[in-house]
Chains A and B, each alone.
Chain A
Amino acid sequence: MPMTPLLAREELDAQLGGAARAWLDEALAEAEHAAEHTAAHAARQETGPPAAGPGALIAAPPWELRYAAAGRYCGLDHADSVRALLLLAARAGLPALTRLYDQGTAAERRAVLRTLHRLDIGSAALPLVEDALRTNDTRLVAAAVGPYAAAHLDAHQWRHAVLKCLFTGVPVDCVDALARRALGDLELARMLGDFAAERTAAGRDVPADLAYVLSCTAPATTVPSQES
């Protein structure tokens, strides 16, 4: 389940045909318009409660419909990139992110997860990452262990995320800042050791990535030089 790199607008424009570029122009304009509208609305109702409830569940702003259709207009290979650009253009806040994640296909959820660290939301979107880490869908697990998880997951959650990658076959290359966060983590080392022992006792192979993660947990003086 290797994830394609996210492309910037200029890179996308170079790869998209005329009709797709025009569609993207319109979609981004709608997203930017929504961002301005949301900002103005927030300024007027700074202390009001966020829009929620059944109405919010059903009514979708135009740019969110574009978010769903991105793959069909710009190509499935570019869907993550286009969706990320839409989230950035809309300056998506927690209500929109939650809506797009909760109501999204796995691909739409993945794009939300891959963009969280580029949005100004602090740790508020952690429940989305936690939801993805509860699934057994390796596309979501891989997307959930990016820079946002590295910045915001607490030690316990982060260790379980790493272990889940090993369990479900998600390459640990997907785990952002693995070497930095694992450095000197003796509890993670214990968990890895127990996992390896359990696999060995069952006569099963130990995942190849486990040795690398275990090496990352060593104290600073012996840590390998590569940074993930």
Chain B
Amino acid sequence: MRIFDPHIHMTSRTTDDYRAMYDAGVRALVEPSFWLGQPRTSPASFFDYFDALLGWEPFRASQYGIAHHCTLALNPKEANDPRCFPVLDALPRYLVKDSVVAVGEIGYDSMTPAEDIALATQLQLAADHGLPALVHTPHRDKLAGLHRTVDVVRESHLPPERVLLDHLNETTVEHAIDSGCWAGFSIYPDTKMDEDRMVTILRTYGTEKMLVNSAADWGQSDPLKTRKVGDAMLKAGFTEDDVDQVLWRNPVAFYGQSGRLQLDVAAPDPQHEGNSILRGGE
């Protein structure tokens, strides 16, 4: 089973996770920039974070045979802090980087005027740079948030087929699919969505334009949830081709719209002594 995790925050994960993900079949991933748990207070903190997503983290992933790409953006939560808002001005120089395959995560958190501006501005940046957009749907007041998100997408210059609406569930999937956007589902141990509910959704709505991710981060989460969905799909009678479509071909097709996916990473060499990650920090 080959797996592309289209949404996972590897800066928060260990090398054990990278190894387990490789063993489970993960060969590629996208790491969206997001909130770090601790709010940032200046654009410079974002720039160091973006640099890590463009430098150190792809290097770490490559040591474990996994192709690493990222999406960059000012996330909706921190868009509400005027000290962070200037990040928007610096995004154009980051969006030209080779491994940036979308603008994201953007979207709504509390649906404030500042979030309106950040979302519309960054949808336009995606359109200007020929990139897709990864759009987070809010955790609170989710259905209303989805409706508002779809309205803003419709008003933007970005066509819906270049937009992935993420963190969907039973209450939002239908409207998301009707919008023409791609549909993303984050499978979590207790919240958001689980693998059996995911299988039911795939039975109901089919496998086209559907993406499954672990969204694993610093919270309670599981970087192997993608594999567990694949196993649950097979157990429920889906074919291996169905699994490959959802776990590989769909994310490749969505992020491939950037023209920047590089999926040929060498397999890890377990005998390689001279590994600056195996050694840890000096």
Contact = CB atoms under 8 A, between A and B. Distances in A.
Contacts of A108: 97
In terms of DSSP, what is the predominant structure of the interface of chain A? helix
Nearest to B97: A105
Contact of B98 (A107, A135, A169, A170): A107
B117 to A, nearest CB: 18
Contacts of B89: 58
A205 interface: yes
B97 A205 contact: no
A68 B277 contact: no
A105 B53 CA distance: 9
Given A65-B93, A136-B281, A207-B273, A72 B260 contact: yes
Interface stretch (B16-24, B55-63, B120-128, B205-213): B55-63
A137 B56 contact: yes
Interface in A100-130: 103-109
A138 interface: yes
Given A57-B90, A58-B90, A167-B279, A207 B274 contact: yes
A86 B176 CA distance: 45
Contact of A136 (B90, B94, B259, B282): B282
Contact of A205 (B47, B94, B273, B276): B273
Contacts of A205: 273
A76 interface: yes
Interface in B160-213: none
Contact of B97 (A68, A76, A139): A68
Interface in B41-100: 47, 51, 54-56, 58-59, 86, 89-90, 92-94, 96-99
Contacts of A200: none
B96 A137 contact: no
Contacts of B277: 136
Given A57-B90, A68-B96, A71-B98, A139 B273 contact: no
Interface string A79-114: 000000000000000000000000111111100000
B235 interface: no
Nearest to A67: B96
Interface residues of B, number: 29
A76 B94 CA distance: 18
Contacts of B275: 168-169
For this complex, into which size category does the number of interface residues on chain A fall? Answer: 20 to 34
A205 B272 CA distance: 12
B262 interface: yes
Given A58-B93, A72-B260, A103-B93, A136 B98 contact: no
Interface string B240-282: 0000000000000000000110100000000011111101011
Interface of A: 54, 57-58, 60, 65, 68-69, 71-72, 76, 103-109, 135-139, 141, 167-170, 204-205, 207
25 contacts: A57-B90, A58-B89, A68-B93, A71-B98, A72-B98, A76-B262, A104-B54, A105-B54, A105-B99, A106-B55, A106-B58, A109-B55, A136-B56, A136-B281, A136-B282, A137-B56, A137-B59, A137-B276, A141-B276, A167-B274, A167-B279, A168-B275, A169-B272, A169-B276, A205-B273
Interface of B: 47, 51, 54-56, 58-59, 86, 89-90, 92-94, 96-99, 259-260, 262, 272-277, 279, 281-282
